[in-house]
Structure 1
């Protein structure tokens, strides 16, 4: 499995955490080496208690290592410059209610800007642009706590995007959402990536990880135990077993159907292509057999 550092590129975020222990003595992470680079989507997967949320909260200095270092944009993060980390690395929490604080959606998205001294009209303009980016402009006068789960996620995402971060981190962005809202949130994540923002998501949904990620990092027992492309990770049975994970449905179906998995399908689209190619090859063989069956 490849190392977490991709080539020689300078990472946007580089976390070295030898240890993080919670006040009750629980070890949240240990020996973690994790980085985020320009123009990538990273999916963090693992079972409950693997340390995914703990790792994510270290990326913008919400939590800090007991031993180790966080570097953001080439700057080592200390107690004195945590605000820089939180501006560069926007965090969308799994429980969206924890970051919805204002009486209306527009006020909520403006909140962070106003904390940084952006004037009222400029903050309002940028907040409306951020809401439009996530297809939530129609919500601006709504009361945040009366929104649906999916709408709250989009508003939380807009509240992060308005600060123009280099990296957006989302903790279980599809948790509790119905399929339609899940598709909408996933599409918005792809959209912000297309606009040049790197994205880190933690998820239990390996189908989602296979669809969206350039790189998958697997956590188990508070450590990153492997990483690579979706194809590298989801065909590594030993790695998945170590993390108590099962491969995505496309991998299981292709294997159970006895298909040639040399192309390593990991998504539904991959599987459809593989089946179509198999059907086309079968049709060619049958046509060839018929052509050869005639006599003089």
Structure 2
């Protein structure tokens, strides 16, 4: 035997190697004559399918080349047959080779569902792989605002929503926070200044920026003072109204009393005096 192509018994029973290749079987006779037969070891029938891809994570609206390798029981590649592909999710599959062993998968534009399963099949043998669909590069950012006002010295916790060109949420983006007054942490927690006024809160990532305007109002003590002043003013108004009403009432009673007095004088024969 040559080339490690297998083994052969003295009776001529040849057993092929488990590795594909080529070799020769040589027979020698007692007279010195020899015979030679070339032998080619080919793969056994398909036993499994392996799937190879660059990454198990794929951005929306992007492509990935996926390759299937059909192996026999001894891990030799078997080129026979055609591999077919299916997917449980969205996206498209384009075959790059006639035997289907190489395909181009085009991801959908949405991250819902968050993953797809792609299956390669040849005969009764199948193998599946799962691709995680992630958002594309960030192109937009918005600020999640819990409130538009805050008392001086108070705090507000802001959040930022980063999206790709299709509106999918981008996770793991680094946010740079800023505030024109007071302070804000890189976690988005804002502490209002002691003075009332307007404060601009900014959030930025990947060259994109968004902002909101927050009104810082006076503290609880000032608010109480304003409420107390308002209550005092209302009381003064009520007292003034009551005083005016009382004056009108007394004037009317005075006129009525004079009229009654004149009438009594007329009845008693007295002369009319001048009306006061």
**Structure 1 and Structure 2 fold alike (TM over 0.5):** no
- Richer in strand (by share): 2
TM-score by length of 1: 0.22
TM-score by length of 2: 0.23
- Pair member with larger Rg: 2
